[in-house]
Amino acid sequence: MLTPITAVTAADPYPWYADLVRDRPLEWHDGLRLWVAASAEAVTAVLREPGLRVRPPAEPVPPGIVGTPAGEVFGRLVRMTDGPVQQRYKQVVVAALGQPGTDQITALATEHTKHSGTAPLRELMFSVPAQVVAGLSGLDEPAALEASRLVADFVQCIPASATPEQQAGAARAAAALRSLLGPALTEDNAGMLGELVRTAYASGWTELEPLLANGIGLLSQTYDATAGLIGNTLVTLARGVGEVPHEPAGWRAYVREVARYDAPIQNTRRFAATPVRLAGTEVAEGDPVLVVLAAANRDPAANPEPDTFRADRTDAALYTFGAAAHRCPGETVAVTIAAAVVAELLAQGFDPTALDGPVRYLPLANARIPIL
């Protein structure tokens, strides 16, 4: 019997998610001690509810990293804050991520994939997106490479299951990332870090620490999720699902449908800061809520024929990138990178059908990343 956590890494969690959506759209899970929201309606209601926060109110930063450089960064991330502070950070992050054009992102992702040479897929799918986002941020090639290595250690502090060793490694990585990105955080940097500064200054805000934290946040938000999107696209191709695209826009449409059909981020969490009422159900103050984005993507009330892969869906309801105040501002960047990486791998002669067969996934509680 699956749980919403074991489903993330199950071979095919989708029939089980369909049962959740139909029979238990919002239910208390006794074993996990949290609410589970699965239908499109319940997921939307949770993500729109201001009384549900991204962190437990008594623990804005995980205790193991409080007072460390990792904690300093974590506590200032747009992803990890709520209310007016989050809105202020969100405005600059959205401006920064809107800065690079699709052609620039595609060119950089194609070039980094070419230069990855013989790197195994399981490395390339993590390192290329991080290097591309570091390059778009305005770092030169050696700094972008170093940033992509450091972010691998930094993200280890994010899951609640992080060990003291992982937290210590993340603290060292956060300190190194601050030194690496700090000098690039200037108004005259033509990349995304420069755009963060320009947008903040334009609204009369001059504190650099939150900008630096959110510059690092661009890398950490990219890391697992975009690796999963590349991996799940390769698995979908390996199974012969959908037509193989032939041009960049076709690849982006294919990858966007993969994001719906086999979401790289399957769930996210909220914590009730006050008692809230959701679709007639009382959620008590302090209760955690697991938001099963991947189940909502396949809710027939949101997407007709949800189990059919159709890259030509024009108005798909996509929950993979969240919704409302915390909706992912990196969707276009992520989809464009993944599309360019996969297209370039195939152009180099990589045959995805070589991957066909049973797939295993990294043991993670919210990201679905195949071990390739």
At 34 the three-state DSSP class reads: strand
Beta carbon nearer to ligand HEM, 173 or 293: 293
Chain contacts with ligand HEM (rule: CB under 6 A): 54, 78-79, 90, 93, 97, 133, 217-218, 221-222, 225-226, 229, 264-265, 268, 320-322, 326, 328-330, 333-334
Bridge-based pairing of strands 281-283 and 34-37 is: unpaired
Measured in whole angstroms, the distance separating CA 365 from the mean position of its chain's CA atoms is: 13
Q: Which lies closer to ligand HEM via its Cβ, residue 69 or residue 322?
A: 322
Rounded CA separation 23/38 (Å)? 10
Query: Residue 35 or residue 168: which is nearer to ligand HEM going by CB?
Result: 35
Burial code (b: 16+ CB inside 10 Å, e: under 16) for 341-368 equals bbbbbbeeeeebeebeeebebbebbbbb
Minimum CB distance to ligand HEM, residue 329 (Å):
5
Neighbours of 238 (CB within 10 A): 18
| Residues 6+ away with beta carbon under 8 Å from 299 | 21, 38, 39, 40, 41, 306
Task: Give whichever of 32 and 163 is closer to ligand HEM, judged by the CB atom.
Answer: 32
Pick the closer one to ligand HEM by CB: 167 or 366.
366
DSSP string, 129-195: HHHHHHHHTT--HHHHHHHHHHHHHHGGGSSTT--HHHHHHHHHHHHHHHHHHGGG-STT--SHHHH
Least Cβ distance, residue 92 to ligand HEM (angstroms): 10
User: Smaller CB distance to ligand HEM: residue 4 or 168?
Assistant: 4
Name the residue number minimizing CB distance to ligand HEM: 330
Q: Least distance in Å: CB of 342 to ligand HEM?
A: 13
Closest to ligand HEM by CB, 225 vs 340, is 225
Spatial contact of 296 and 38, defined as CB atoms under 8 Å apart = yes
State the nearest-atom distance from the C-beta of 165 to ligand HEM, in Å. Answer: 26
Distance, CA of 305 to CA of 71 (rounded, Å): 44
Cβ(199)–Cβ(206) under 8 Å? no
Least distance between ligand HEM and beta carbon 118 (Å)? 25
When the beta carbons of 21 and 290 are compared against ligand HEM, the nearer one is: 290
Q: How far is the CB of 221 from ligand HEM (least distance, A)?
A: 3
- For residues 79 and 178, which CB has a smaller minimum distance to ligand HEM in the complex? 79
Residue the block writes with tokens 């972008």: 144
CB neighbour class for 241 (10 Å; exposed up to 12, middle 13-18, buried from 19) = middle
DSSP 278-341: ETTEEE-TT-EEEE-HHHHHT-TTTSSSTTS--TT-SS----TT--GGG--TTHHHHHHHHHHH
- Residue 129 Cβ, how far from ligand HEM at the closest point, in Å? 7
CB of 62 vs ligand HEM, minimal distance in Å: 16
- Min CB(80)–ligand HEM separation in Å: 8
26-29 and 34-37 beta bridge pairing? antiparallel
Stated as kind and residue range, the H or E segment containing 27 is strand 26-29
Sign of CA dihedral 258, 261, 267, 273: positive
Query: What's the closest the beta carbon of residue 172 comes to ligand HEM, in angstroms?
Result: 23
